[in-house]
Amino acid sequence: MPQPTHAQTPTIQIAVINESTVLADADVSPVVAALQKQVTNDFGPVWGTAAQLTIVPKGAPPAAGSWWLVLLDDSDQANALGYHDLTTEGLPIGKVFAASDLKAGTSWTVTASHELLEMLGDPNINLTVFVQNSNTAGTLYAYEVCDACEDDSVGYQVDNILLSDFVYPSWFESFRPEGSTQFDRMNKIQTPLQLLAGGYIGTFVVNSGSGWTQQTAEKRPTNILHRGSVGTRRERRSIPHELWINSLPQKKIVSNAQKYRQLLESIQQRRQEAA
Ligand SMILES: [Zn+2]
């Protein structure tokens, strides 16, 4: 039997894969450097986790045993290429839909930060906090660390890159009085489970029979993004893990990516011809 060693936080290896057609590798590398600083200096000490990010060169396989942070255009492209609920090896995967962000006028770097931190905070997308309202009723809160403060306006800069605010563990601890401690990195939140403007959190009201639903600060969905496209953490949390599927083998992804690029080019060409 292996002997226990001194306690230390294992470093999680994260492969950053750029499949998007809207981000050049030169756009990505300074962002990854900023994300690395965020994890090491800001998030890791508070949440007791450590990660090392490595950019995967185009067409190269991600390192075995790594978790993935994949930069994609949108949910459709993710699916067409074969990026699903877990990596090819069945490990955690985070997806950033950069073209969707550009279209919506939101920051893809904040989304990258959001997806990275939430993957580290709840890699299996199954942790919750239970708030019991009576002997027989209560609500489960999704253990998502960026949703409550996800709006770009409460993000912060590291080396001129805008990153996401994130909550501290205290945000999930109902015994903490208002203003008694820090609840998020930017110190904008005053009480446990408080949502900032533009923020939201997944809740599952036990016995309601309605499964996971979304609470927003505005009490109603304000943005189509709140629906949760296929492959988002919200969508994955709402379906049983036994229905999750692994991403395709890398070879298949590479050939699908090629086909997808050709498809986009032929659509582009037909548009030009029609114009
Ligand atoms: Zn989230």
Q: What is the DSSP string of the chain?
A: -PPP----PPEEEEEEEE--SS--HHHHHHHHHHHHHIIIIIIHHHHT-EEEEEEPPTTPPPPTT-EEEEEES-HHHHHHHT--SB-TTS--EEEEEHHHHHHHT--HHHHHHHHHHHHHH-TTS--EEEEE-SSS-EEEEE--SSGGG-SGGG-EEETTEEE---B-GGGG-TTSPTTSS--BTTS---STT---TT-EEEEEETTSS--EEEEETTSS--SGGGG--TTSHHHHHTS-GGG--BPPPHHHHHHHHHHHHHHHHHHHHHHHHH-
Residues with CB under 5 A from ligand 1 (ion): 118, 144, 147
Q: What pTM does this model have?
A: 0.93
Distance between CA 167 and CA 184 in Å, rounded? Answer: 4
Q: If you measure from the C-alpha of residue 62 to the centroid of ligand 1, how many angstroms do you get, rounded to a whole number? A: 24
Phi, psi of 6 (to 5 degrees): -60, 145
Determine the pLDDT at residue 228.
65
Q: If you measure from the C-alpha of residue 116 to the centroid of ligand 1, how many angstroms do you get, rounded to a whole number? A: 10
Q: If you measure from the C-alpha of residue 97 to the centroid of ligand 1, how many angstroms do you get, rounded to a whole number? A: 13
Q: If you measure from the C-alpha of residue 178 to the centroid of ligand 1, how many angstroms do you get, rounded to a whole number? A: 24
Determine the pLDDT at residue 264.
87
Q: If you measure from the C-alpha of residue 113 to the centroid of ligand 1, how many angstroms do you get, rounded to a whole number? A: 10
Determine the pLDDT at residue 55.
98
Q: If you measure from the C-alpha of residue 146 to the centroid of ligand 1, how many angstroms do you get, rounded to a whole number? A: 5
Tens digit of each residue's pLDDT (9 = 90 or more) over 36-59:
999 999 999 999 999 999 999 988
Q: If you measure from the C-alpha of residue 173 to the centroid of ligand 1, how many angstroms do you get, rounded to a whole number? A: 19
Q: If you measure from the C-alpha of residue 24 to the centroid of ligand 1, how many angstroms do you get, rounded to a whole number? A: 25
Q: If you measure from the C-alpha of residue 194 to the centroid of ligand 1, how many angstroms do you get, rounded to a whole number? A: 15
Q: If you measure from the C-alpha of residue 128 to the centroid of ligand 1, how many angstroms do you get, rounded to a whole number? A: 13
| CA-based nearest residue to 80, from 69, 70, 65 | 70
Determine the pLDDT at residue 36.
98
Q: What is the DSSP string of 231-275?
A: TSHHHHHTS-GGG--BPPPHHHHHHHHHHHHHHHHHHHHHHHHH-
Q: If you measure from the C-alpha of residue 67 to the centroid of ligand 1, how many angstroms do you get, rounded to a whole number? A: 17
Mean pLDDT over 138-167 rounds to: 97
Q: If you measure from the C-alpha of residue 213 to the centroid of ligand 1, how many angstroms do you get, rounded to a whole number? A: 13
Q: If you measure from the C-alpha of residue 115 to the centroid of ligand 1, how many angstroms do you get, rounded to a whole number? A: 6
Mean pLDDT computed over every residue of the chain:
93
Determine the pLDDT at residue 1.
66
Look up residue 72 and give its two tokens.
């994609």
Q: Which residue has the tokens 């306006």?
A: 153
Q: If you measure from the C-alpha of residue 144 to the centroid of ligand 1, how many angstroms do you get, rounded to a whole number? A: 6
Tens digit of each residue's pLDDT (9 = 90 or more) over 128-151:
999 998 999 999 999 999 999 999
